[in-house]
Amino acid sequence: MENRYGWLIYNGRLLSAKFDEINFQYQMAAEKKGITLDIIKNNEIFSIVQNNSLRIGTAYPNPDFILFLDKDIRLAKQLALMGYRLFNTAEAIEICDNKAMTFQALANHDIRMPKSVFSPLMFEGTQETDDSFVNFVEMELDYPIVIKEAFGSFGAQVYLVENREELKNKRRELLYIPHLYQEFIKPSRGKDVRLHVVGDRVVAAVLRISETDFRANVSNGGKMWKYQPSEEFTELAIKASRLVGADFSGVDILFGEEDEPVVCEVNSNAHIKNIYDCTGINVADHIFDYILGKIYNEKGNFDLLQRRL
């Protein structure tokens, strides 16, 4: 098999040792598969419309594929419209990045999810003149109520309110920010399962538990253990990942009243370092096997890019 060349695109403003380690993990996994992988910031590739055509400005050579680990939807769509093969696709990233869109994509497919109420769009500077929406939320949901910003990561934009006063205060804070109100799955307080799906397989899973927070995220103090999911959990994670159109994803699943799985979130670019440290499974190995298989099936002999920048 001839060597292949790919891009890994990440956000050029999120510079930290953590992201450097993750990118290096992908690069080393790619090298083992005979892939040269360049690590590229999203602000090193510029989207241009010129003479009624799309083009990009970059010094990097044409890739056989792009591992898109950022949430720069405009750049992802530009690259896709130019014919580049992205993993994940721009559409999947956009759905997973917006929690409201995620639940809309999963609805009507027999997916267990927390009951959710989306906040109506409010333009900054406009006013909410009464409590009709707060009253509606209270009719639909029991306290405590989970409030999530539509865009957010690591559980940092997720809140729990215990009463009407807290609900109204948090609503005022988030009035101009897209957000939703959600049923609190009480049996799963501080506990969930993260399942890494690649294609149509769960390749790694961990149980996450926090003794100090209603959120189980490790970034909020939770701890994780290697976990063997049941067939029910596995099938639900694969189905959810497929419904959002993801090539690979991290699906977070809560425990219902009878320990039945309840989908919490689907992450299009779930981090893989903590999973590796906990389980010894390098999800990147599975992702590159999947990418190589997909490219062969779609184009044959990697005859991908006859176009020019």
Tokens of 241: 């990942």
CATH of domain 4-88: 3.40.50
- Give the domain ranges of the chain: 4-88, 94-112+187-268, 116-184
Confidence class of residue 93 from pLDDT cuts 50, 70 and 90? very high
State residue 14's pLDDT score. Answer: 78
Residue 4 CA to residue 65 CA, distance in Å, equals 9
State residue 38's pLDDT score. Answer: 97
Given a cut of 70, whether residue 252 has pLDDT beyond it is yes
pLDDT 10s digits, 124-164: 999 999 999 999 999 999 999 999 999 877 667 899 999 99
Extended beta strands in 199-247, E state: 201-209, 223-226
Confidence class of residue 7 from pLDDT cuts 50, 70 and 90? very high
pTM over 0.75: yes
Task: Give the ranges where 107-258 is alpha helix by DSSP (H).
Answer: 132-140, 164-174, 231-243
Residue 178 CA to residue 156 CA, distance in Å, equals 15
Count of Cβ atoms closer than 10 Å to residue 123 Cβ? 6
Its CATH architecture, for the domain 94-112+187-268, is 2-Layer Sandwich (3.30)
Q: CATH topology of 94-112+187-268 equal to that of 116-184?
A: no
List, as one string, the DSSP characters of 75-94.
HHHHHHHTT--EES-HHHHH
Confidence class of residue 212 from pLDDT cuts 50, 70 and 90? confident
CA-wise closest residue to 65 among 251, 293, 282: 293
Residue 290 CA to residue 294 CA, distance in Å, equals 6
| 116-184 topology per CATH | Dna Ligase; domain 1 (3.30.1490)
pLDDT 10s digits, 165-211: 999 999 999 999 999 999 999 999 999 999 999 999 999 999 999 98
